[in-house]
Amino acid sequence: MWYEKYYKHRKGLIVGTIVLGILGGIMLPNLKFAFNFEQFFPTGDEDLEFFQNFIEEFETDDNFLLIALEKEPSVFDTSFLKKLRAFSEDCKDVPYVKSVQSLPLFGFPVMSPMGPIFKPAVSIDNSDKLIEDSIGLMKDERIVYNLINKSATSTVVILKTEDGIQIDESKAVMNPIDSLLALYNFDDYHILGRAYFQTELSELQFREIIISTLISGILISFVMILIFSKWRSIAIALTSIGLALLLFMGVLAVLGRQLSLMAALYPILMLIVGTSDVIHIMTKYFDELRKGKGKKESMEVTIRQIGLATLLTSLTTAAGFATLLSSRIIPIQEFGVNSAIGVVIAYVVVIAFTCPLLTYFSNDQLFSQKPTKFNWTKVLKWSYNYTLKNSKLIWVLSGIFLVLCVYGISKIHTNYELQKNLPKGAKITEDFMFFENEYAGFRPLELAVTIQEGYDVFDYEVIDAVERTERFLKTQPEVYNAFSLATIIKSLNQMMKNYGPDSYSMPDKEAYEMTKPFLDKIPLMGAEVLVSKDKRKTRITSKVKDVGAENIKAMSARVDDWVTENIDPSVVTFKQTGTGIILDKNAEFVRQSLLFGLGIALVIVSLLMGFLFRSFKFLLIAIVPNIIPLLFAAALLGYANIALEAGVSIVFAIIFGIAVDDTIHFMSKYKLAKDMYGDKEKAMYVTFLETGKAIIYTSIILFFGFLVLIFSSNLPSVIIGLLISVTLVSAVIADLFLLPVIIRRFDN
């Protein structure tokens, strides 16, 4: 009954789908692109909650924009410094910029009859005095790696921006900065900071989506030409896939989804998933027509058999993506939900557009009656016979393969580096590495200092504990500078001693008491960002080199151990926090959420397969071949020394969601054939011949489709593409060689 209504209203379904696709295309300009580090903070974490409270009391630790300007042979050049001063002053007028610091604007406190005043650090108008200034500055730890690199060939303009600026505000900052750099003719410059990252990476996302869509579209068109010889079949298939992609992107725009760095995967996923559905449907429909059946009857058989199996594969694929909801990282969760929506949309388009449209064309218009040059039947017969005659060998090879996988998995690590997540060959990556090599780096590290009862933030015992901790922190090879109240106290001590030898040091308690009357001038030195309003907390702020999450964790442990052994907790307590620390927490949660998510996926897929096969035995048989690609992917991470981090972790959801499709198609056909012929081996043979070709076709498309990601400038995308492509080959092998052996062994 339902099929009669479906067939009767097929024209309406076609027109409706086309209209929705056009509306989706109209909505494309409304797509939103965004990137900020807060997206990747793990939700529901105690350290994140502490950090959020910390930045409310102080400020965010990424509210800066660093502009490094190169000048050979030295930045201590009067004409260059004058131009730098003018540039720095103009930067103060840039929207969302709160303050500007640079070498010409920097000064030291000196005593005057009116109290402490600031004296410029460099004498711009006196060349002889400038040489003397440069000698002193290059020995000053407050300057080197902060405002000047070690070789004095570059200097940094530090812009402090408003907290938490987003993409629109970032563009409002970067546009005038770019204009100023061009106006002052600064050619050799490097930029680092939140506004720069957001602007550049959002533009990168858009380019990646366009490029990945074009390359994938060309590739799939080429594959379609090879599979379907008739241009009408090729046009129907490509139009179906295109409509699904337009409709999906339109839905994302309507829902107001912000596209992160992983958005470049969406076109590829939609093209591949849509192609897989189209090939299974069209291959089955053509096979039925070749048997001499009419169009209406052939489509009914196709929808009842392959349509149901494709529905279940779509649901299992969607379930695989939905498991990413177990992640604590919001972009990963959104990627999972969006991908699940896309899979369902692709299926709906195939049923509502592809199937009805096929029935309006004759056999001659859709496929050639002549046999193809490549004899798929011969290949599939060979595969069938090989599994029949070499079952023991397949069991042995599978066992060896699993042992190798387990060993590879044991080598997995989470020592990811931020630089490896940046686009290869892009200026943003070049700039990042410049600051890594020439300055203190990018990753912020904050030490939150809590003053205990009975002590004041300006008590000597508190300042002394902060100074000793800061000094130890700077002994770590990953840390090049730090700033705290102790930095200001040492500067005041230097002032009190008229800049005598070694005067930049922590004073003793008696000398410190003489310095205290000048602390009301501290706002001039930036202490307002070092002390909380209630004066019960202070901070040590620093930057850490991007040496890897596990190495930084080891360094953090050394600092904590030193504090435990050397700082009296009844005076102050220290807690490490900051953007870098919170991002590193992802490594701890990736494994947990990965295992939990895959466990949920197994349960969901098991329920769906249980519904399809109505047999617990078949359920177990179907699960086994799909564990192999997951193990293989994990082993490849270990053998290739690739860090398991948030972006790469989505590989497993994609692999599981897609790999299970072929298993379902194979087993559903086997079950139907077994019910029809009543003979297990006959059913196996028919399954190989009828389903094997579609499995190979879709696997070829999957392989090359994901391999397109090697053209991405985003390294995690390249890794994802390579891992999925290679592991899906193992999924095909498991389905066409191991699965038949398992079925023969256990389906008695």
> In CATH, what number is assigned to the domain containing residue 358?
1.20.1640.10
In this structure, the number of other CB atoms found within 10 A of the CB of residue 641 comes to: 10
Lowest-confidence pick of 188-197, 201-210, 471-480, 606-615: 606-615
Q: How does pLDDT run across 224-258, given as a tens digit for each residue?
A: 787 777 888 888 888 888 898 889 888 888 888 77
One-letter-per-residue 3-state SS of 277-298: HHHHHHHHHHHHHHCCCCHHHH
Query: Does any domain span residue 594?
Result: yes
DSSP conformation class of 592: H
Query: Does any domain span residue 434?
Result: no
Which tokens is 388 given?
């029949």
Is 70 exceeded by the pLDDT of residue 372?
no
Domain identity same for 599 and 746: yes
Is 90 exceeded by the pLDDT of residue 91?
yes
Domain identity same for 286 and 305: yes
Domain identity same for 671 and 567: no
Query: Does any domain span residue 204?
Result: no
Per the model's pLDDT, the better-predicted residue between 668 and 741 turns out to be 741
Q: How does pLDDT run across 667-718, given as a tens digit for each residue?
A: 888 888 888 888 888 988 888 887 887 788 778 877 877 887 787 777 777 8
DSSP conformation class of 257: P
Give CA 346 to chain center in angstroms: 24
Say if CB 122 and CB 104 are below 8 A apart.
Answer: yes
Query: Does any domain span residue 528?
Result: yes
DSSP 4-67: HHHHHTHHHHHHHHHHHHHHHHHTGGG-EE---GGGGSPTT-HHHHHHHHHHHHS--TT-EEEE
Domain identity same for 623 and 638: yes
Domain identity same for 360 and 234: yes
Domain termination residue (choose one: 334, 349, 366): 366
Sign of the alpha-carbon torsion through 250, 255, 261, 266 = negative
Is 60 exceeded by the pLDDT of residue 546?
yes
Domain identity same for 322 and 377: no
In this structure, the number of other CB atoms found within 10 A of the CB of residue 588 comes to: 16
Domain identity same for 346 and 399: no
Find all residues with CB under 8 Å of 174, minimum gap 6, and list them. Answer: 195, 196, 199
Q: How does pLDDT run across 309-333, given as a tens digit for each residue?
A: 788 778 877 877 777 777 777 777 8
How far is residue 124's CA from residue 104's CA, in Å, rounded to a whole number? 7
Give CA 210 to chain center in angstroms: 18
Query: Does any domain span residue 278?
Result: yes
Domain termination residue (choose one: 151, 182, 199): 199
Q: In the structure, what pLDDT confidence band is assigned to residue 609 with cuts at 50, 70 and 90?
A: low
First-to-last alpha carbon distance for the chain, in angstroms, is 37
Domain identity same for 387 and 324: no
Domain identity same for 103 and 186: yes
pLDDT of residue 592: 63
pLDDT of residue 157: 95
Q: How many domains are there within the chain?
A: 4
Element (H, E) at 543: strand 537-544
Per the model's pLDDT, the better-predicted residue between 742 and 87 turns out to be 87
Domain identity same for 747 and 608: yes
Phi, psi dihedral angles at 504 (to 5 degrees)? -80, 90
Domain identity same for 190 and 50: yes
Is 60 exceeded by the pLDDT of residue 211?
yes
Is 60 exceeded by the pLDDT of residue 523?
no
Find all residues with CB under 8 Å of 393, minimum gap 6, and list them. Answer: none
Q: How does pLDDT run across 610-627, given as a tens digit for each residue?
A: 666 676 777 777 777 878
Domain that residue 69 falls in: 39-199
Query: Does any domain span residue 416?
Result: no
pLDDT of residue 525: 45
Task: List the 189-193 sheet strands across, edge first.
Answer: 97-101, 154-161, 64-70, 189-193
How far is residue 201's CA from residue 620's CA, in Å, rounded to a whole number? 44
Is 90 exceeded by the pLDDT of residue 393?
yes
pLDDT of residue 524: 42
**Residue in this structure with the two tokens 């081996």, named with its chain if needed:** 681
Domain identity same for 524 and 565: yes
The CATH number given to whatever domain includes residue 552 is 3.30.70.100
Cis-peptide into 73, omega within 30 deg: yes
Q: In the structure, what pLDDT confidence band is assigned to residue 608 with cuts at 50, 70 and 90?
A: low
The burial of 703, by beta-carbon neighbours within 10 Å (0-12 exposed, 13-18 middle, 19 or more buried), is given as middle
Query: Does any domain span residue 209?
Result: no
Domain termination residue (choose one: 157, 183, 199): 199
Residue type at 513 in one-letter notation? E
Q: In the structure, what pLDDT confidence band is assigned to residue 374 with cuts at 50, 70 and 90?
A: low
In angstroms and rounded to an integer, the radius of gyration of the C-alpha atoms of the chain is 32
Nearest in space to 206 (alpha carbons), one of 263, 268, 269 = 263
Q: In the structure, what pLDDT confidence band is assigned to residue 154 with cuts at 50, 70 and 90?
A: very high
Say if CB 115 and CB 521 are below 8 A apart.
Answer: yes
Which tokens is 363 given?
């056999």
Average pLDDT, the chain: 83
Is 60 exceeded by the pLDDT of residue 526?
no
Query: Does any domain span residue 420?
Result: no
Q: In the structure, what pLDDT confidence band is assigned to residue 588 with cuts at 50, 70 and 90?
A: low
DSSP 145-211: TTTB-TTSSEEEEEEEEPTT--HHHHHHHHHHHHHHHHHTT--SEEEEEHHHHHHHHHHHHHHHHHH
Give CA 208 to chain center in angstroms: 13
Q: How does pLDDT run across 136-152, given as a tens digit for each residue?
A: 888 888 889 999 999 99
Q: How does pLDDT run across 466-505, given as a tens digit for each residue?
A: 999 999 999 999 898 888 888 888 888 888 877 765 788 8
Give CA 654 to chain center in angstroms: 14
